[in-house]
Structure 1
Amino acid sequence: MALHIAVIDDWQGVAQSVVDWSPLASIGLVSFLRDYPADTATLIERLARFDVICVMRERTRFDEALLLGLPNLKLLVTGGMRNAALDLATAKRLGVAVCGTDSYKHAAPELTWALLMALVRQIPSEAADLRNGGWQLGLGGDLHGKTLAVLGLGSIGEKVAKFGLAFGMQVIAWSENLTQERADQVGVQRVSKQQLFERADVLSVHLVLSERSRGLVDAQALAWMKPSALLINTARGPIVDETALVAALRAGRLAGAGLDVFDEEPLPLAHPFRQLPNVLATPHIGYVSHNNYQLFYSQMIEDIQHWHAGTPLRVLG
């Protein structure tokens, strides 16, 4: 019997064109859904008929209530090998297989640097003023000789740190697990948590979201920062205390923030991050690049083929 396969969370309407889905034609019928996440009842109605669902990382939440409402579901496939929006324990208990994909490792670091450069050189305001007939609003900042503080020196943090070194910045780093050996390997200075925030001209967040990292950039950490400093977060929204960050930005205790991730996504229309003049916000596009989507979707197709053949790949949980 042919499988009913859904590709959801396709907010930009690109999933169908970025790769060739025809290899699944002999297995089942593929449907592409662009809807944003909704309440559980709506999601059950939307997804109840599908045997296989392909999800984009951390968009629609598959919690116990939703999984229990999808008795036809046999396989979940996610972009990436980590997705905090999936209840893996309940999926396993219900006999729903979960598979992931590799990720293109350069998309998020490149966006991080784009946000950083745009803020430092005031590109959004200068470009908007030019469109409105103006010419040169103010003075841009500089990076050479300034201090880049990297919070989390994993694979993404390492790439951002090396960008900083290439721009002639002094690069420091801290995380709870950071060793001197790792810092030396990347070529950065290992400092304490307080020193990281106090010395930063630009602080860039690159931690994995966990109970330990949730809210780590809190009011105290922000208070340690210079009023002239910038904060960049392309990791996960809840690592930074949004209320404390809004207060610091409004009070001028922080010069600006470049944000790609938020506590609630899509970002609510009335959220201060949509209005604050010293915030440059993008809609969680750190991993939304052609190469990454091509990798995600091509490996999703592989995952479905192998699972259907009884030889599942890249199993999670």
Structure 2
Amino acid sequence: MRLRCVVLDDFQGVATRMADWSVIKDEVEVVALREHLDGEDALATALADYDIVVTLRERVPFPASLFARLPRLRLLIASGMRNSVIDHAAAEAHGVTVCGTASSGTPPVELTWALLLGLARGIVEESDALRAGGPWQSTVGADLHGSRLGLLGLGRIGSRVAQVGLAFGMRVSAWSQHLTKERAAENGVELAASKEELLTDSDFVSVHLALGERTRGLVGAPELALMKPTAYLVNTSRAAIVDQDALLAALHEGRIAGAGVDVFDIEPLPAGHPMRTAPRLLATPHLGYVSRANYTTYYGQAVENIQAYLAGSPVRLLP
């Protein structure tokens, strides 16, 4: 009997076209689900008859309680080589092998700039007005050249965002708890003396930190209050780094010029969620990782992971 594999959150319906799944068709039946499964009960019911699960990013938690309800599960594949919502100890205890895939940092860098430029030049407002026969020019764009870009985090993605900022002629500074002056200088940027200084001085602030105990809620109401009323905040990293309620309040009260957000506390975002209608907000449905190249990598390596597992030599093991 063939094993059964399910691919979760295939929102665009492309998972089975982004890789050659035919190489495992004799041993594995593959099903892709376009609808998100919300909650442990729904997951336990839907996944009960599958031996292999392919999950995207950190949208679907796999705690110990879920592993206990999936006795048939043997292989869990996540995109990327780090996943904080999988209980790896529980997976091992239940005999589940957990594998990852490579993931490019290029797509989130590009989306960061799409959001930042969209905010700075009022792209959505002007496009909507033009198509609707509205006013001809209603916004005054913010200049990038000569303005200050402040980066919270200067790692793999933040450093590449910095290079684009420098190419635009921006003054770029960065801060994180362990960032050194030498590391900042290597990337041609200034080291901000503190998080507070960075927020106070920047015209654009972009978040590029990993989520952890030290970064959860790092930008809350006090931090947003430090930003200029003409400044913009962009978050393509993790939703929990920026206090969502505080951000909504700042947007509604006009205390910052706007925000570009690609990550949310709840994903997919419910239809009535206040982030869908907040003013001064340019929002995208977690598109940071969504690109042809990344999907080809995710699903192509998922197939390779399945082949290696079937051969008795699993690869790209997590954590």
What TM-score, normalized by structure 1, do the two folds share?
0.98
Matched residue count: 317
Q: Which residue of 1 aligns with 2:163?
A: 162
Does the CA contact (< 8 Å) of 1:37 and 1:59 recur in 2? no
2:113 counterpart of 1:110: no
User: Structure 2 unaligned runs (5+)?
Assistant: none
Secondary structure of 1:4's match?
Answer: strand
Q: Which residue of 2 aligns with 1:177?
A: 178
2:84 counterpart of 1:84: yes
Choose which of 286, 296, 300 in structure 2 pairs with 1:284: 286
- In the TM superposition, 1:242-261 aligns within 5 A as 242-261=244-263
2:238 counterpart of 1:229: no
Identity of aligned residues (%): 52
Q: Which residue of 1 aligns with 2:34?
A: 34
User: How much does 1:307 deviate?
Assistant: 1.3
In 2, the alpha carbon distance for the partners of 1:78 and 1:278 equals: 34
User: How much does 1:84 deviate?
Assistant: 2.1
Secondary structure of 1:158's match?
Answer: helix
User: How much does 1:188 deviate?
Assistant: 0.4
Q: Which residue of 2 aligns with 1:202?
A: 204
Choose which of 285, 298, 301 in structure 2 pairs with 1:299: 301
Does the CA contact (< 8 Å) of 1:3 and 1:51 recur in 2? yes
- What is the CA deviation profile of residues 122-175 of structure 1, one whole-angstrom value per residue up to 9, with x for unaligned ones? 000000000111221121111000000000001100110111000000000000
Secondary structure of 2:53's match?
Answer: strand
In 1, the alpha carbon distance for the partners of 2:235 and 2:33 equals: 29
In 1, the alpha carbon distance for the partners of 2:139 and 2:189 equals: 32
Does the CA contact (< 8 Å) of 2:251 and 2:279 recur in 1? no
- What is the CA deviation profile of residues 211-248 of structure 1, one whole-angstrom value per residue up to 9, with x for unaligned ones? 11100011111111111100000000000001111111
In 1, the alpha carbon distance for the partners of 2:37 and 2:84 equals: 15
User: How much does 1:178 deviate?
Assistant: 0.6
In 1, the alpha carbon distance for the partners of 2:48 and 2:139 equals: 55
In 2, the alpha carbon distance for the partners of 1:249 and 1:33 equals: 35
In 2, the alpha carbon distance for the partners of 1:305 and 1:210 equals: 33
User: How much does 1:257 deviate?
Assistant: 0.2
Q: Which residue of 1 aligns with 2:74?
A: 74
In 1, the alpha carbon distance for the partners of 2:157 and 2:252 equals: 29
Does the CA contact (< 8 Å) of 2:252 and 2:279 recur in 1? no
In 2, the alpha carbon distance for the partners of 1:183 and 1:38 equals: 41
What TM-score, normalized by structure 2, do the two folds share?
0.97
- What is the CA deviation profile of residues 93-132 of structure 1, one whole-angstrom value per residue up to 9, with x for unaligned ones? 1111100000122100000000000000000000000011
- What is the CA deviation profile of residues 167-219 of structure 1, one whole-angstrom value per residue up to 9, with x for unaligned ones? 00000000001111211111100012111101110000000111111000111
The amino acid of 1:133's aligned partner reads G
Secondary structure of 1:195's match?
Answer: helix
User: How much does 1:37 deviate?
Assistant: 2.2
Does the CA contact (< 8 Å) of 1:223 and 1:253 recur in 2? yes
2:245 counterpart of 1:238: no
Q: Which residue of 2 aligns with 1:22?
A: 22
Moved over 4 A (4+): none
Q: Which residue of 2 aligns with 1:273?
A: 275
Q: Which residue of 1 aligns with 2:7?
A: 7
Secondary structure of 2:228's match?
Answer: coil
User: How much does 1:26 deviate?
Assistant: 2.9
The amino acid of 2:143's aligned partner reads D
Q: Which residue of 1 aligns with 2:312?
A: 310
User: Structure 1 unaligned runs (5+)?
Assistant: none
Aligned CA RMSD, in angstroms, stands at 1.0
In 2, the alpha carbon distance for the partners of 1:67 and 1:220 equals: 40
The amino acid of 1:299's aligned partner reads Q
User: How much does 1:54 deviate?
Assistant: 0.7
Does the CA contact (< 8 Å) of 2:118 and 2:124 recur in 1? yes
In 2, the alpha carbon distance for the partners of 1:269 and 1:2 equals: 39
In 2, the alpha carbon distance for the partners of 1:182 and 1:307 equals: 40
The amino acid of 2:280's aligned partner reads N
In 2, the alpha carbon distance for the partners of 1:26 and 1:268 equals: 39
User: How much does 1:258 deviate?
Assistant: 0.2
Of the structure 1 ranges 140-149 and 16-25, higher mean CA displacement relative to structure 2 is found in 16-25
Does the CA contact (< 8 Å) of 2:207 and 2:235 recur in 1? yes
Secondary structure of 1:155's match?
Answer: coil
In 2, the alpha carbon distance for the partners of 1:35 and 1:65 equals: 22
Q: Which residue of 2 aligns with 1:211?
A: 213
Does the CA contact (< 8 Å) of 1:57 and 1:85 recur in 2? no
